[in-house]
Structure formats: C-alpha cells, structure tokens
Structure 1
Amino acid sequence: MPNAVVMTGYGPPEVLKWAGVPLREPGEGQIRIKVKAAGISPTDLALRAGYLKAIPLPPNAVLGFEAAGTVDAVGPGVTGTSIGDGVTALLVGLGGYAEYAVASIWTRKPDTVSWIDAAALPSSAEAAVGVLRQLNVKSGETLLLFGGGGSVGIIATQLAVARGIKVISALG
C-alpha cells in the first residue's frame, strides 16, 4: 500500500499525517504518476486551514494540485505517453502529496527542468494560459502585465512573446 500525506481535519499543519492509501488505477484518458516532487499551492494551504470549506473534501483527503514524476501506469485512450516518461501534472482532483497520483492533465517534463521546478509549474501555467485566452491578445498587439516577476507573470510573458505580442511588465 503506497503512502500519502492525508488531511485528518481542518487546521494547522499538524492535521497532516503520513498514512497508507489505496493505489488508484488510471481511468479513461488518465495516467498514474510515481511522484518525485509535489507543489504546495496557496489553495492547498487554504483548504487545509479551513478557509475554503465550501469545497467538499472527502475524509482523509490527499491535497496537492500539482506534481511531477514518472509515468507508472497508462489508462485506456492515452496516446503519446509511455510508462517511464517524466511528466508534470495539474491534479484537478488533488492527490499530489502522495507516492502515486492519478492525472488527467499533464505534459512531458523537459530534461533540463528539475523535478522540483516541474512540480511548481502546472497551476501557474494554467493561470497564465487562462488569462491570455480570456484577454484574446493577438500577435502585434501590446500587453501591459502587472506582476510580471511572479510565477504566473513570467510564464505569461514567455507565452505572449512566443505569440508575437509585445509585453510591458510592471513590477513592484
């Protein structure tokens, strides 16, 4: 039985306990990852502290919206990813604080990116992509970006420049 950091209730970090959990199998369009690193997001901290009780969590929930590791199993319908591939994943259903996590959204981890850095990317990348999509900025246009020095801003800048958008970044 693999281990995970389970949340035994809302509160301080002491509500997190190391415990055995069932090994989940990947479903249609999913992969299972042997986790090498997990990101700790502000949302994870808010969930644990009880600030987001409107989001229902099962008993002994395993937090973690993002993780990086090697593909351990591939579910039906998955193509282009094989067992042993290094990936970084956004875990919509949580589960990154575990030895194994099941993911529906992932991308291959570049060899030049460390496991720790790869685990910190998914939530920031999702936010950056979402903002650029919502703004619908086009090639040749200019984007004024506040907070360009943060994780979301850095990724948004790189994506915008790659799309031919001029970026002006405001920091501080």
Structure 2
Amino acid sequence: MVYYLLSFSAELENLTDLQPRGGCDDPAYPYYFKLKCENCGEVSQKETCVVISEEVPLPTGRGTANLVQKCKLCGRDGSIQMIAGHGQPLTLEQSQKEEFAKLMIFDSRGFEPTDFSFADGWKAESMAGSTYNVDLSAGEFAEYDEKGACPVGISNLQAKFSVVKKQERRGGKDVFL
C-alpha cells in the first residue's frame, strides 16, 4: 500500500481559508483525478471521481474502499481509500509564501493518482469577513468584495500528489510524514 498526499496551492487576492465548501473533510466533495496503473503504467483517459461518503466492497470481500476499479489495459483490480482528518485550508499567508496546503490522503492499492482537477464546491473568506462559494473548474475566480471595497480573486491553482509514510499513532490518530 502506498499513501498519497494531495496538496494544493493558489494565488489568493484578499482571500483566505480556501477549502472545499464543507471543510477539508467534506463528505460530499468529489475529487477528480486520473489513475495510473501500478502494474502496466496505463493512465486512465478520463478522470475518476472519488467521494469519501461513498464506499464499495473490495473484490476480496474483506472490507470496503471509496473506489474499486479495473485497469482497462491489463485488467488488474485497484482500490483507493480516503483518509480524512489531515486537510487544512489554504491561508493568505501560505499563498504569499507560495506554500502548499494539505487536502486529503489516499491509501492507494494498484493505482497512482495523478492530475487532480479543481471543480465547483469550494469556499473562501475575504479579509473583510465575506464568505464566497467558489467554482474553480475554470482555473480562477474573480469578484468584488463590497464589504471590504476591494477585489478578491484566486488564480494560479496548483495541485500535487506526493508519497507520504504512515509513521505512528498519536492520540488515536495516524501521523503521516
């Protein structure tokens, strides 16, 4: 099993706390990305949608996962289980330092997630306290904050998957590095 951390970054203008609308562990937020088969290297043509609130039985009959899929080229089964509790909103300070915020950890067996696509269902807060529901599927967002009398925006969206290791349990929670 390999654990992949999905992190994201963006240029925030007069906004902070960019995250999925229901928070970083939003059970309804759909994650869209492509899958690379770890057996044959085939990358899926279409994006796959994974939602933490949806579970399907594993082919072995032992347990469930958020996604079970066969590679279209070699026919091998693969699965992905989402591990909540490790995400955090992207703050204005992180954006200014060009840092990435953690979004979700995926326990992947047989597949490597690649090419995350931003979609609708995000929110951010202006420096004046206004909340914005944001659709990031176009790759950017721009609006005018009446309360703060200034423009607000999101641009230069970036996402990356990186391998992390499960180190230990602290206070009943897994720690990933």
* TM-score normalised by length of structure 2: 0.22
Quick check: which one's strand share is greater? 2
Quick check: which one's helix share is greater? 1
* TM-score normalised by length of structure 1: 0.22
